[in-house]
Structure 1
Amino acid sequence: MGVSSAGHGWPAPAGVLSAAFAMDAELARSGAAYRAVSPPFYLENLLGQSAAIRGDGAFFLTYAADRPLASVATRDIAGAAADLLADLSWTGQENLPLFGPDRLSPAGMAEVMSQVLGRPVVYRRTSVDDFASMCRFQGASEQAVKDMSEALAAQDAGIYDADWVTAKIATTDFRTWCRDVLKPAVDAKAMA
């Protein structure tokens, strides 16, 4: 049992996502029984922007503002993994895409954040190049910058899109996640 990434079969380099696919391929070649929960964008990736959401009323991604972004809460990943681990009768090899129940664009996410947080939040798209510059400024290695930039470019180009059809749908919707996870994090930034 493992955790991988949605987007298997993507034909271009996808940085850290390609590394997950390579791990899955290696395990498949071994012949071992193996199942991997394969999630898309983790909602918890937004927690690193709690201060910006609180102070600037904005969050930033490299993704198109009006295009649905496949996402999932980590608690749903943990639940799916626990279910797989509890099933001792299973044999074979399988990647299991797991997506949240929403099909929100970043602009739609901003609307929900605004409602839950009780203050305006907007989405601002940033370029992959600007993201890479920020990572370099923060001390990331060139390999890390390359791997993250390739993953973001693949995400922007639709690496997760094909998995919408076969994905198991998780239970935590974005509004619930914002209420249970994001709001406490943003409120804690106000007290810091």
Structure 2
Amino acid sequence: MIVITAPTSAIGRLLVDDLLDRGEPLRLVARDPARLEPRVRERAEIVEGSHGDAAVIDRACAGADAVFWLAPADPAAPSGEAAFVDFTRPACEAFTRHGVKRVVGISALGRGTPMAERAGLVTASLAMDDLIGASGVPYRAVVCPSFMHNLLHQVDAIKGQGLFFTMADPDLKSPTVATRDIAATAARLLLDAGWGGSGEVACLGPEDLSPTAIAQIISEVLGIEVGFRQITGAALKQRMTGFGMTGTMAQGMVDMFDAKNQGLDNAAPRTAESTTPTTFRQWCEEVLKPAVTG
């Protein structure tokens, strides 16, 4: 039995589809099971509730061989520590109590770098990995740079203004990754009973691109001029708190992008094993363009 948390998330949805297609028995932890597709509800066992709830995650882990763990970056959380570490504590107890054989989690790049100590939400995510690893359960953190998927939040700006906005340095080349490739890596690890201990597996897209280069590729794929505009940390924080994010979580996001601008996502060496297949251009053609033109 494989337990999937956050099964309606961008990664979780793809992972569920992949594992069901392979015929794997799944138990899904969902706050709102109605958000799951009917065919998924018919083929998987459902545990309703938050996977941060001790009773819910305890029920989910009973008899489980493997668990996929994704802690949501809760915008209403009082801190990154609360959103990642405190949220995960009940799960660690459940992992050990029920003898879960392996846990695969989604986390961030940067471990061992000076930037990681002051990287806001990334720092909290790495602390979550430490907590899970210290529980004694075999653990692999799938560590990622920024997701290509994040650009879907800016479809309206791309359509209406011909722009997208981030704090990123316009000329800094960094990796990005497609959620489909993260899900594929997670599936491989969940199904592989041959590893143990605690460690990381990096997922880096096949190329490092600057925001300027990203804008050029988007323009070519969409057939319209799309530019990039860098925003300040203060502007990002104001925007996030305007959407209801707590000030501490918004500052954690600002600190994360500051660390990325200092090379946080460039710290992991690119290898054949860490390089994922989906190019940014391919993702734009298959995902972004339909979202913009649809």
Interval containing the TM-score (normalised by the shorter chain): over 0.9
2:107 match: 4
1:21 match: 126
Contact 2:237 2:247 in 1 (8 A): no
Unaligned runs of 5+ in 1: none
Give the drift of 1:10.
3.3
2:249 match: 144
| Secondary structure of residue in 2 paired with 1:163 | coil
CA distance in 1, matches of 2:266, 2:174: 9
2:285 match: 179
- Structure 1 position 135 matched with structure 2 position 214: no
2:274 match: 168
CA distance in 2, matches of 1:114, 1:103: 18
CA distance in 2, matches of 1:155, 1:49: 20
Contact 2:138 2:198 in 1 (8 A): yes
Contact 1:36 1:96 in 2 (8 A): yes
Structure with greater contact order relative to length (CA < 8 Å, sep ≥ 6):
1
Give the drift of 1:118.
0.6
The more displaced of 101-110 and 29-38 is 29-38
2:146 match: 41
Over aligned residues, Cα RMSD in angstroms? 1.3
| Secondary structure of residue in 2 paired with 1:3 | strand
Instruction: Give the greater-gyration-radius structure (CA).
Output: 2
CA distance in 1, matches of 2:242, 2:136: 43
Give the drift of 1:182.
0.5
- Structure 1 position 107 matched with structure 2 position 215: no
**Identity over the aligned pairs, expressed in percent?**
38
2:174 match: 69
Q: Name the amino acid aligned to 1:77.
A: I
Contact 1:63 1:125 in 2 (8 A): yes
Give a deviation string over 1:124-167, Cα, whole Å, max 9, x none.
11111111111122222112212111111111111111113457
Unaligned runs of 5+ in 2: 1-103
Corresponding pairs, count: 188
CA distance in 1, matches of 2:269, 2:169: 18
Give the drift of 1:6.
1.0
- Structure 1 position 94 matched with structure 2 position 199: yes
| Secondary structure of residue in 1 paired with 2:236 | helix
Q: TM-score scaled by structure 2?
A: 0.62
Spell out structure 1 runs of 4+ moving beyond 6 A: none
CA distance in 2, matches of 1:185, 1:164: 33
